[in-house]
Structure 1
Amino acid sequence: MGRTALLAALACGMNLGADVRAQEAAPLAAVDTFTLKLPPAAAPVAGAEGSVQFIGTATVLVRYQGFTILTDPNFLHKGDHVHLGYGLTAERLTNPAIDLDKLPPIDLVVLSHMHEDHFDKLVQEKLDKNTPIATTREAAEALKRLGFTRAIGLSTWDRLEVEKGEARLRITAVPGRHGKAGMQALLPSVMGSVFDFGPNVATPAYRMYVSGDTLIYDDLKTIPQRFPGIDLALLHLGGTRILGVFKVTMDGKDGVRLMQIVQPRRAIPIHYDDYDVFKSPLSAFASEVKAAGLDKQVTYLAHGETYTFAPAKR
């Protein structure tokens, strides 16, 4: 499908609305639980603090309780291009804070969906093919075709139980939608994710939510119902627009609405200003945050900066 055909399809929804509604009305599938056992750390984990380091785009390093997790790996440099499908490309406007070959050892990658600005050609070629990757079922199949041997496909509410020595982590896939309902068949499936650190699911040591490339829609309201007391939310912003017209990620106003829905104790914006298809700058989110009186709940990180956190007080 070329650009002209894509524009026409998006404009009319390709009569897909009924099909999408039929899918959404289908009975809920059973929740699956997967397990992943990692080798224990060579040395005891020092300290109780955790950290989130912003590398750029939607790529962050999460380190806590002996786990090192990489999200949505994108390590292209300024001037490089990614392909988004249907003949569409995007140019990177920034550099990552760390190069791919300078990363510490990674236990697990969490990939919200299969788009090149989240899993680029460099990563496809250079990332160890034996790296565990938690992602959507659709993306897991694509990763397996690329040679990745430990891609774990999750549907909404599926869980991945991760064990590393005495440390425990549960990752749950939560709702996300990369565009309006009529556009869904033209876009990859996407998931948000909740990280619950610690052995006790009812009272995790720390609860983190990563939004993924979602827009605001009703299903997001189920996240705080199932996962109250979110300590930290990482919000994919940018107001990404396909063909400069169709919004497929949250803008500043949407980011505030999501904060109001999931009610995190702290939020960090990511996925903004890095590509030319990102049309809503970080400043737009900051203005909306100030207008909503949420300034004290938001931390802004420049590329390479780190936010540190301690176990939550329940």
Structure 2
Amino acid sequence: MFIQQIRNATIIVHYAGKKFLIDPLLADKGLYPPFLAGIREDIRNPIIDLPMSVDDIIKDIDAVILTHLHLDHYDDIAKEMLPKGIKVFVQNEQDAIQVKNDGFEQVETLAEDTIFEGIQLIKTQGEHGRGEELLERMGQVCGVVFKHANEKTLYIAGDTVWYDGVQKEIDSHNPEIIVLNAGDNVWNDMGSLIMGKEDVYEVHKAAPNANIIAVHMEAVNHWTLSRKELKRFGEEKRFSSRLFIPEDGESYTF
């Protein structure tokens, strides 16, 4: 298994001989307006450049997984640059209709037992914030678990905070590698949209033997948790040996 952080929630996963692109945000720095979230609203998104060219990112991709369709996970450049015949997995039929309308020809809704080229892809639950009003605004999201006889189990949690649903997914699948969106991004005064440092620590306590990769950091204007702060927190809580916080472009092999 090879996992490369690209930018924000965008990662590349090589798994059982196949190459997956997760949640592509492929625009140049500053192409989109800031999110109206009460922080850094004078800075356009993405707030940093890609670490490599779009052509290099999408080269030889076998499938794309979209955990949901917010702009910072599926943007206009991804719609334009990805081959329209590529396999695209989405969370539900509503998202499938939209992605098909964008011109993609092979769109499939993830299920509890989706099989792609011998790889089991399992849709997982998530909550994109806390509180009924915020969850309604943010809409449905998902994560995905990868399983194959020749690979470690991988859990990509997606845009979710820590709650009992994440605990259930960990209990059900016992993942050895966990990717968390961990920038503690916020929406106005309504609170966190994704995991902060305490959420990451809860995941570690639930899966103490798993390696955790923290992504979705310092890339769009409404982040509040830096890589440096999360690293320091991991050291304070004594789980830094299990916590990986990649710079954009950095990769790991497990």
Q: Normalising to structure 2: TM-score of the pair?
A: 0.89
1:248 aligns with 2:193: yes
Say how many residue pairs are matched: 247
> Secondary structure of the residue that 1:247 maps to in structure 2?
coil
Larger Rg: 1
Q: Distance in 2 between matches of 1:259 and 1:135?
A: 27
1:66 aligns with 2:66: no
1:179 aligns with 2:179: no
Letter in 2 for 1:151: V
- Tell me which residue corresponds to 2:170: 224
Q: Distance in 2 between matches of 1:124 and 1:84?
A: 20
Deviation of 1:235 (Å): 1.0
Q: Distance in 2 between matches of 1:90 and 1:250?
A: 22
Identify the match of residue 213 of structure 2 among 247, 262, 268.
268
User: Are the structure 2 counterparts of residues 256 and 84 from structure 1 closer, same or farther at C-alpha, using a change threshold of 3 Å?
Assistant: same
1:121 aligns with 2:66: no
Deviation of 1:85 (Å): 9.3
Q: Distance in 2 between matches of 1:85 and 1:120?
A: 17
CA-based RMSD = 2.2
Higher fraction of strand: 1
Deviation of 1:212 (Å): 0.2
Percent of aligned positions that are identical: 22
1:105 aligns with 2:60: yes
Q: Distance in 2 between matches of 1:85 and 1:216?
A: 24
Taking the TM superposition and a 5 Å limit, the aligned residue runs for 1:257-296 are: 257-296=202-241
Taking the TM superposition and a 5 Å limit, the aligned residue runs for 1:1-314 are: 50-81=1-32, 91-103=45-57, 104-137=59-92, 138-154=94-110, 158-163=112-117, 168-182=118-132, 183-198=134-149, 205-228=151-174, 230-243=175-188, 245-309=190-254
Q: Normalising to structure 1: TM-score of the pair?
A: 0.73
Letter in 1 for 2:126: G
User: Are the structure 2 counterparts of residues 241 and 131 from structure 1 closer, same or farther at C-alpha, using a change threshold of 3 Å?
Assistant: same
Deviation of 1:83 (Å): 7.5
| Structure 2 gap ranges (5+) | none
Deviation of 1:53 (Å): 1.2
| Structure 1 gap ranges (5+) | 1-49, 199-203, 310-314
Deviations 1:119-154 (A, max 9, x none): 111111221122111121032222122222222123
Which has the bigger relative contact order, CA under 8 A and spacing at least 6? 2
Q: Distance in 2 between matches of 1:82 and 1:74?
A: 14
